[in-house]
Amino acid sequence: MINPDRKIKIIERFSQASGYDQAASIQRVVAKRLADKIKTSFPDHSVRPIKILEFGCGTGFLTEELIHLFPKADITVSDISADMLGRAKAKFGKAQTNTASLTFEIMDAENPPEDSFYDLICSSLSMQWFTNRRESLSRLVKQLNPNGWLWVSTLCDQSFHEWRRLYNLKEWACPILACAEVSQLKSDWPVCGHGEWVAEKIIDCPENGLDFLRHLKKIGASLPQDSVASLSAPNLKTLLKLFDQGNKKITYHIGYGSFEKMPRKGVFVTGTDTGIGKTLVSACLIKAWNGDYWKPLQTGLAEEEGDSATVTRLANLSSDRIILPAITLSAPLSPEAAARQENRVITENDLSFPPLFSSAPLVVEGAGGLMVPITAEKMMIDFIQDCKLPVILVARSGLGTINHTLLSLEALRLRKIPIAGVILSGATNYENRQAIENYGKIRVLAEIPLLDRIDPEQVAAIASEMPAFDDII
């Protein structure tokens, strides 16, 4: 829950930081390093971001770098503090005639405007002040255009550990801002794209402990944690003496996060096995989301009507909501084996993603499981990676599913494929569901019970219990 009182205090501290530019040497270094990393996302000079949002701009260290990197961009420069934004505007407001177009806005990045979309959203050393990081990242990512990038730097958990250690030695509560571990930051990314975090440590050497505390105040970073009382004057004096007797070093543990939004809206439905219920799940998802359907590789047509026809019937879809399969084969075998029987060769061109003319979520259904061969060189998991869609993994609910499901999740994560969640098919098994969620660190989105019949009415009933698309992506 966002704490409005703390936000007000954050704004007040940064508004009072009139000496920020002179004191924020580490912040300047981090902004430059973040800009160098942002540049790697746009190696092709012909593909550059046109619309950029910078949040938490401060006095404009990163703004200056963005102007040099992307001189033809429209850059919205924002901060939650009107005073900080005013300092940045005073610095760059006159540069608009011969460089990037700059717009200055007061903005709370945890609640960005929902009617503006960007090719790049970025910020240097502001995210540690978010009061709800996971939800805020999700909101920011929603404002990215397809294939857009989010780049941020933030303080991580080992920042100021020398100072915290002194509090621990005296068994006092440390008021300095607690920052997230890199592993936690990695788990906060939404599933509608691919996110990474890398970290480094920068060492600062203040003259003494008092110099360090004054530095935090000068840059507006002295706000204590909620419910942690300030030290009494004698205790603070003791702490400063301990620091000055040591090596007088302070670590800044900096995380650099990058996230690329997927180029299309949808999910890829795969399974831990064949015959696991992928087609039924696909029909339910399409019914729930009013989505479109694509079965790229259809085998087994000698024995059945094909999954496109089944989904059309079960979800009551019109023909314009179905994208025809790229490959259709007769034998009920893997695509590679079925194609070989027909003396056909599946090419990369056959597997290219079709053009989309609808804004509805697209449900793509795979054939078999992750390691099913499509060609001699390409497995289903490779094709999933190429599709750039988050995965919904369909798994059995019964005996053996823990092993199969965890192995599948591990394979997807090794390929850095985002996973939206798991759907279990079969009789309810609370123990297996709990194990998959706990050990797989994944959300079970739904459970589809054994059905005495499978028809449009049953699909509609199950669809009504499915989570909304925006709730999982």
Per the annotation, the verdict on 37 as an active-site residue is no
Binding residues for Mg(2+): 279, 365
Classify strands 144-155 and 250-261 as parallel, antiparallel or unpaired: antiparallel
To the nearest 10°, report the CA torsion of 57, 62, 66, 67: 80
| Cβ(244)–Cβ(208) below 8 Å | yes
Which of 287, 357, 279 has the alpha carbon at shortest distance from 316?
Answer: 287
The DSSP string of 336-384 is HHHHHHTT----TGGGSPPP----SPEEEEEEEETT-BSSSS-BHHHHH
- Cα 464 to the chain's mean position, in Å? 27
- Alpha-carbon distances, residue 469 vs 58, 230, 267, 420, 463 (angstroms): 35, 46, 9, 10, 12
Classified as helix, coil or strand, 292 is: strand
Crossing angle of helices 61-69 and 25-40, rounded to 10°: 30
* Residue 136 burial (10 A CB sphere; 0-12, 13-18, 19+): buried
Binding residues for substrate: 299
| Cβ(208)–Cβ(243) below 8 Å | yes
Of the listed 89, 218, 265, 295, which one is catalytic? Answer: 295
Structure tokens at 109: 């990045």
Helix (H) or strand (E) holding 85: helix 82-92
Residues of 294-303 as b/e, b for ≥16 C-beta within 10 angstroms? bbbbbbbbee
Binding residues for ATP: 275-280, 365-368, 449-451
- Cα 84 to the chain's mean position, in Å? 28
In the chain, how long is the greatest CA-to-CA distance? 86
What is the 3-state composition of the chain as percent helix, strand, coil, each rounded to the nearest 5?
40, 20, 40
The amino acid that residue 238 corresponds to is T
- Cα 215 to the chain's mean position, in Å? 33
**Measured between alpha carbons, how far is 179 from 92 in angstroms, rounded to an integer?**
31
Q: What is the CA radius of gyration of the chain?
A: 26
Catalytic residues: 295
